[in-house]
Chains A and B, each alone.
Chain A
Amino acid sequence: MSLNKDTNYSTNFLTGKKISNISLEYFDENKFYKEDDLKKNNYTLINFWASWCLPCRQEHPLLVQLSKEKNLKLLGVNFKDKKKQAETFLYNLGNPYDLLTKDELGKSSVKFGVYGIPESILVNKDLMILKKFVGPLSTEDYDSIIKIIN
């Protein structure tokens, strides 16, 4: 009931919904990553990050670990960041992403219901959202991802 609604904001209701009309610009090229590209992967973890985001540093080792999973592709969305700083971030901490895109103005991320970073969305090849992680990934989140994809 709306009267009993938890006012602590959550986007968990997106779980089970399909993502549509996505268009993410490649980090290095003037090309766009679309839904059809996403359908090629069994599971994709879309991770929204930036070099200026401190919690993104915190979750990064887990992303590096997840990048070793064969059944999972990591799609990075560099959010409102400067290219040079993003490159330095990945150079120093390692690049876990199978594919890197950018969202310079943050407009594309609105289509994913993102309101702050880091956020991660696990989708299957049917583009269905299996889980949404708001905030840095924890070891529990890591375990739940592993459980879903295997």
Chain B
Amino acid sequence: MKFKLILITLLLNFNLASGVEKKVDQNTIHKNLRCLVCQGQSIADSNSDFAQTIKLVVKDLIKDGKTEREIYSFMSDKYGEWIVFKPELNKHNVVLWVLPYLALIFGGVIIFILVRRRN
């Protein structure tokens, strides 16, 4: 009975959470966009002309009802993936995303084998 109640509560929370539209945070987007004419700065950190323009465009896109992902996609389409600090997973960067996990698994297996041998 207790388990059923927990399950129902979890399901209800999940439905409510997915039903509520996620608010697009302008600052988060600015922080995740690279200022292309600056040295390692984000759009949020920069006062350059380019950063000011991108901020205006992001504001317009939010106003048009675009989601965070759609805004990153728009920017990547115009300026390349380089503009986004956290690029989406694709065929060009799949190794970069998967490699740390593979290294972790590989390391774990080696440690497991070594410990087993010692015992």
Residues on A facing B (Cβ under 8 Å): 1-3, 5, 7, 9-11, 13-14, 80, 105-107, 109-113, 115-116
Contact = CB atoms under 8 A, between A and B. Distances in A.
B115 to A, nearest CB: 33
Contact of B37 (A107, A112, A113, A116): A116
A72 to B, nearest CB: 24
Given A3-B95, A9-B80, A105-B53, 7 more contacts: A7-B82, A11-B79, A13-B80, A106-B53, A110-B53, A115-B37, A116-B50
B57 A107 contact: yes
A133 B60 CA distance: 27
A113 B49 contact: no
Contacts of B56: 105-107
Nearest to B35: A115
A115 B35 CA distance: 10
Interface string B31-67: 0000011000000000001100110110010000000
Contacts of A3: 95-96
A107 B60 CA distance: 9
Nearest to A6: B82
Interface residues of B, number: 17
Nearest to A3: B96
16 contacts: A2-B92, A2-B96, A7-B82, A9-B80, A11-B79, A105-B53, A106-B49, A106-B53, A107-B53, A107-B57, A110-B54, A110-B57, A115-B37, A115-B50, A115-B79, A116-B37
A111 B61 CA distance: 12
A1 B95 contact: yes
Contacts of A7: 82
A14 B78 CA distance: 7
B93 interface: yes
Contacts of A109: 53
B80 A11 contact: yes
Closest 6 CB pairs of A and B: A106-B53, A113-B78, A2-B93, A110-B57, A115-B36, A9-B36
Nearest to A12: B80
A102 B96 CA distance: 42
